[in-house]
Structure 1
């Protein structure tokens, strides 16, 4: 199992309770949640990757269980990983999911890749 299905169910339940339309995509060994065609959060193993407002990024990193997302040797400002310590309790998970949801309307959508037809 590349991602925690129970954790992804908790994310789905939160979005359904908020009546938020979303889609999921299997990517990078995890499950990505998209809201308004933009990356919202991802579940990878037992962690959540959340896209939050870059203006609160540094402050958020001081919270227990929150760490920078660093795949390439350079942290991506506005993207954080949340460990069990930050998301074990529903109220804590909902805090982070709401932060990501609040930022979603301000986030830029990824550019669509053009398929090369020959």
Structure 2
């Protein structure tokens, strides 16, 4: 997968020993301390916000539920690429996912 968003995520996590990139969920995912944090799918940036953070995330522009077939994955959302064009926006979503993971 060659995607500008993936390249930006790799740069954001560069040098972190606690982060591993894996192929999963139809794209590339980043595991923090062995737990899925975020990743890139065909739809954009996949972010783990937890069921409790889902409604607030979905209220933001360019955010929709993560769907696996017909099933909605409650703990994740997908942020459209145009909603994370800046590095600050991307870093903010990653911080949100890491906060959910307790980091």
* Greater Rg by CA: 1
Judged with a 3 Å threshold, the aligned counterparts in structure 2 of structure 1 residues 46 and 73 are, in CA distance, closer, same or farther, namely closer
Q: Which 5+ residue runs of structure 1 have no aligned equivalent?
A: 107-118
Q: TM-score, normalised by structure 1?
A: 0.74
Equivalent pairs counted in the alignment come to 103
Q: Which one has a larger percent strand, Structure 1 or Structure 2?
A: 2
Superposed CA deviations along residues 33-89 of structure 1, whole A, max 9, x for unmatched, are 111111111112361111113222111101011100111323221200111232111
Counterpart CA distance in 2 for 1:10 and 1:47 is 12
State the secondary structure of the residue aligned to 1:75.
Answer: strand
Cα RMSD between the aligned structures? 2.1
Please report the TM-score for the alignment, with normalisation by the length of structure 2. Answer: 0.84
Aligned CA distance change for structure 1 residues 15 and 57 (closer, same or farther; 3 Å)? same
Runs of 4+ in 1 over 6 A off after TM superposition: none
**CA deviation after TM superposition for structure 1 residue 3, in Å:** 5.0
- Using the TM superposition, name which of 70-79 and 33-42 deviates more: 70-79
1:95 aligns with one of 86, 92, 96: 92
Secondary structure in 2 matching 1:31: strand
